[in-house]
Structure 1
């Protein structure tokens, strides 16, 4: 069933009322935005930043990078150069050679794979990504 009409959020939760005559600004205070932004983590040689700020993606020109995609599948891969990518869609578990442990990446992740890494990609949800080799 679709939504019809307007809902008064204060009738649902009275704590959602605005208590100021200042214009509403949907941007979070910078300290909160910084706290929400995930830090980069490194696991098994793969660096992952969850949901990087759009300003970073813009600064790097990520949306103008080439795109690559694949359906659910499993395949070996070796990085002949460092790859930086940003997943638009999908879910993958990457198993570096010599490790029984995998690294899960998904839509919204900004990922760096080191030059020389050999691994197996296990794609569980079709991937669409921007990528750049250095």
Structure 2
């Protein structure tokens, strides 16, 4: 128990002190292999606000209880990929490096607000989120734009803190998520 608490405290200290130093180039193409491994750990929350959203505060524990503790000790784990809204197909190597299989899972299946066909207008992200779409299709229209973006199974999607968009579930969605 004491070893686990020590690890959690050390992890939190490391995460809080770290600053992200890179991001993938936003595109639907895979980045060069040399840019796949981040140069620094990620931070726990966005620098846009000094307050930590309650959902973000509980995130390290969610990751640890999903089995991510071992991967973290091996230098793998969740990181911020982009600072702007971005959708890109995931590679197996990225999923491995980010330890996606140990992130918590969220689904629309048990949430009436997110039933297929419903549109949630002008949702504002209270925290940053990186998600990996396991299944489903989500339509996103960024605030002030007329461009429809589809997020599909196999995609990474970055929602920066403060991102505002209208969302419509086209097929029931299930995804792994990392909050920051």
Q: Normalising to structure 1: TM-score of the pair?
A: 0.63
Aligned to 2:107: 69
Structure 1 residue aligned with 2:30: 39
Match of 2:161 among 115, 121, 127: 115
Question: Which structure 1 segments of 5+ residues have no match?
Answer: 1-36
Select the residue among 59, 84, 89 that pairs with 2:135.
Answer: 89
- Listed as ranges, the matches of 1:8-23 within 5 Å are none
SS in 1 for 2:138: strand
Q: Is the 8 A contact 2:30 2:91 kept in 1?
A: no
More strand as a share of residues? 1
What does residue 104 of structure 1 align with? 150
Question: CA offsets per residue over residues 5-27 of structure 1, 9 Å max, x none?
Answer: xxxxxxxxxxxxxxxxxxxxxxx
Structure 2 unpaired stretches of 5+:
1-27, 32-83, 109-114
Structure number, greater radius of gyration:
1
CA distance in 2 between partners of 1:120 and 1:79 (Å): 11
**Residues in 2 aligned to 1:86 and 1:74: alpha-carbon distance in whole angstroms:** 21
**SS at 2:171 equivalent:** strand
Are residue 49 (structure 1) and residue 88 (structure 2) matched? yes
Q: What's the TM-score, normalizing by structure 2?
A: 0.48
Output the aligned Cα RMSD.
Answer: 1.8
Q: Deviations over 1:78-131 (max 9, x none)?
A: 111111000000111101121222211111101111110111111111100001
2:177 to 128, 131, 134: 131
- The whole-number CA distance in structure 2 between the counterparts of 1:117 and 1:46 is 7
